[in-house]
Structure 1
Amino acid sequence: MLEVSAPISKTYQIAGVLKQIEPRPAIFSHVIESKFPVMGNLFCSKASFASYFGVPVHQIIPLLAGAIENRSACERVSAAPCQEVVNLSPDLDELPILRHCEKDGGNYISSGVFVTRHPQYGQNLDFHRCMQLSKTEMSVRVVKSRHFDAFLEDLRDLDVAICIGNAPNVLAAAATSVELGVDELEIANALEPLQVVKAKTVDVWVPAECEFVIEGTVHLDRLREEGPFVDLTETYDIVRQQPVLEVKAITHRRDAIWHALLPGALEHKLLMGMPREPTIFRKVNQVARCLDVNISPGGTSWLHAIVQIDKQHEDDGRKAIEAAFAGHTSCKHVFVVDSDIDIYNPLEVEWAMATRFQGDRDLIIKPPSPGSSLDPSAEPGTKNTTRVGFDLTKPLETQGKSFDRAAFPQVDLNQFVKDTQ
Structure 2
Amino acid sequence: MITDLRTAVAALESMPGELVRVDDELPARFGPGAHYARWAGTPAPPPTGPGPAVLFEKVRPVTGPPSRVLMGLYGTRRRAAALLGLRPGQVPFRLRDAVAAPLAPVPAAEPGRWPRHVLPTDLSALPIPVLTGEDAGPYLTLGAVLATDPETGVRNLSVHRMCVRGTDRLTIWMVPGRDLGLAYERSLARGRSLPVAIHLGLSPAVMLSSCCPTSLVPTGLDELAVAGSLAGAPVELLPCRSVAAEFIADAEYVLEGEITAELAAENPDGEAATPEFLGYQGRAHPALPVVRVTAVTARPNPILQAVSGPGYEQSHLLGFGMEAAILDDLLRRDAPIRAVHCHTSGGGQLMTVLQWAKRDAGDDETVRAASLAVLERFRMVKLVVGVDSDVDVESEQDLWWAMATRLQGDRDIVVLPDREGFPLDPSQHTGYSTTISADGRTAKTLFDCTVPYGQRHRFRRPAFSTPPPPR
Matching of residue 2 in structure 1 with residue 59 in structure 2? no
| Aligned equivalent of 1:72, options 103, 107, 116 | 103
Per-residue deviation, residues 156-188 of structure 1 (Å, max 9, x unmatched): 221111001000011011111222222111111
Q: What SS is found at the alignment partner of 2:265?
A: strand
One-letter amino acid of the structure 2 residue matched with residue 97 of structure 1: I
Q: What SS is found at the alignment partner of 2:58?
A: coil
Q: What SS is found at the alignment partner of 1:110?
A: strand
* Pairwise CA distance, 1:328: 2.7
Q: What SS is found at the alignment partner of 1:31?
A: strand
Matching of residue 174 in structure 1 with residue 224 in structure 2? no
CA distance in 1: counterparts of 2:67 and 2:454, whole angstroms = 63
Q: How does 1:315-334 map to 2 (within 5 A)?
A: 315-334=365-384
Matching of residue 405 in structure 1 with residue 446 in structure 2? no
Q: How does 1:310-389 map to 2 (within 5 A)?
A: 310-312=357-359, 313-379=363-429, 382-389=439-446
The residue aligned with 2:48 is none
The residue aligned with 2:131 is 100
CA distance in 2: counterparts of 1:165 and 1:188, whole angstroms = 15
CA distance in 2: counterparts of 1:326 and 1:277, whole angstroms = 16
Contact residue 322 and residue 348 of structure 2 kept, 8 A: no
Bigger shift: residues 249-258 or 73-82: 73-82
The residue aligned with 1:19 is 37
CA distance in 2: counterparts of 1:402 and 1:135, whole angstroms = 66
Matching of residue 218 in structure 1 with residue 263 in structure 2? no
Bigger shift: residues 47-56 or 106-115: 47-56
The residue aligned with 1:419 is none
Matching of residue 237 in structure 1 with residue 273 in structure 2? no
| Aligned equivalent of 1:277, options 316, 323, 326 | 323
Per-residue deviation, residues 86-141 of structure 1 (Å, max 9, x unmatched): 24x50001100110112111111101100011122221111101010111111111
* Pairwise CA distance, 1:2: 1.1
Per-residue deviation, residues 254-276 of structure 1 (Å, max 9, x unmatched): 12111121111211111111111
CA distance in 2: counterparts of 1:266 and 1:197, whole angstroms = 33
Contact residue 62 and residue 278 of structure 1 kept, 8 A: yes
Q: What SS is found at the alignment partner of 1:129?
A: strand
The residue aligned with 2:237 is 196
* Pairwise CA distance, 1:287: 4.6
* Pairwise CA distance, 1:6: 1.2
Contact residue 337 and residue 391 of structure 1 kept, 8 A: yes
Alignment CA distance shift 1:309-1:283 (3 Å): same
* Pairwise CA distance, 1:80: 5.3
Matching of residue 183 in structure 1 with residue 222 in structure 2? yes
Bigger shift: residues 383-392 or 203-212: 203-212
Contact residue 370 and residue 382 of structure 1 kept, 8 A: no
* Pairwise CA distance, 1:242: 0.8
Q: How does 1:248-267 map to 2 (within 5 A)?
A: 248-267=294-313
CA distance in 2: counterparts of 1:220 and 1:326, whole angstroms = 36
Q: What SS is found at the alignment partner of 1:364?
A: strand
CA distance in 2: counterparts of 1:406 and 1:28, whole angstroms = 47
CA distance in 1: counterparts of 2:306 and 2:467, whole angstroms = 45
The residue aligned with 1:295 is 342
Matching of residue 118 in structure 1 with residue 159 in structure 2? no
One-letter amino acid of the structure 1 residue matched with residue 207 of structure 2: L
The residue aligned with 1:393 is 450
One-letter amino acid of the structure 1 residue matched with residue 338 of structure 2: L
TM-score (norm 1): 0.93
Unpaired runs of 5+ residues, structure 2, are: 1-18, 41-50, 431-437
Matching of residue 30 in structure 1 with residue 58 in structure 2? yes
* Pairwise CA distance, 1:63: 0.6
One-letter amino acid of the structure 2 residue matched with residue 197 of structure 1: L
Q: What SS is found at the alignment partner of 2:124?
A: helix
One-letter amino acid of the structure 1 residue matched with residue 280 of structure 2: T
Matching of residue 129 in structure 1 with residue 157 in structure 2? no
TM-score (norm 2): 0.83
Contact residue 172 and residue 275 of structure 1 kept, 8 A: yes
CA distance in 2: counterparts of 1:396 and 1:243, whole angstroms = 54
Contact residue 81 and residue 210 of structure 1 kept, 8 A: no
* Pairwise CA distance, 1:189: 0.6
Bigger shift: residues 192-201 or 295-304: 192-201
CA distance in 2: counterparts of 1:278 and 1:263, whole angstroms = 22
| Aligned equivalent of 1:63, options 94, 102, 108 | 94
Unpaired runs of 5+ residues, structure 1, are: 416-421
Per-residue deviation, residues 202-234 of structure 1 (Å, max 9, x unmatched): 233222111000011112342222452111111
CA distance in 2: counterparts of 1:287 and 1:367, whole angstroms = 27
Per-residue deviation, residues 7-36 of structure 1 (Å, max 9, x unmatched): 111110111111224421111112233432
The residue aligned with 2:84 is 53
Contact residue 341 and residue 393 of structure 2 kept, 8 A: yes
Bigger shift: residues 127-136 or 260-269: 260-269
Contact residue 273 and residue 302 of structure 1 kept, 8 A: yes
CA distance in 1: counterparts of 2:238 and 2:358, whole angstroms = 48
One-letter amino acid of the structure 1 residue matched with residue 54 of structure 2: A
Bigger shift: residues 107-116 or 187-196: 187-196
CA distance in 1: counterparts of 2:125 and 2:454, whole angstroms = 66
CA distance in 2: counterparts of 1:176 and 1:404, whole angstroms = 37
Task: Provide the aligned C-alpha RMSD in A.
Answer: 1.9
Alignment CA distance shift 1:368-1:326 (3 Å): closer
One-letter amino acid of the structure 2 residue matched with residue 62 of structure 1: F
Q: What SS is found at the alignment partner of 2:318?
A: helix
Matching of residue 161 in structure 1 with residue 197 in structure 2? yes
Contact residue 279 and residue 327 of structure 1 kept, 8 A: no
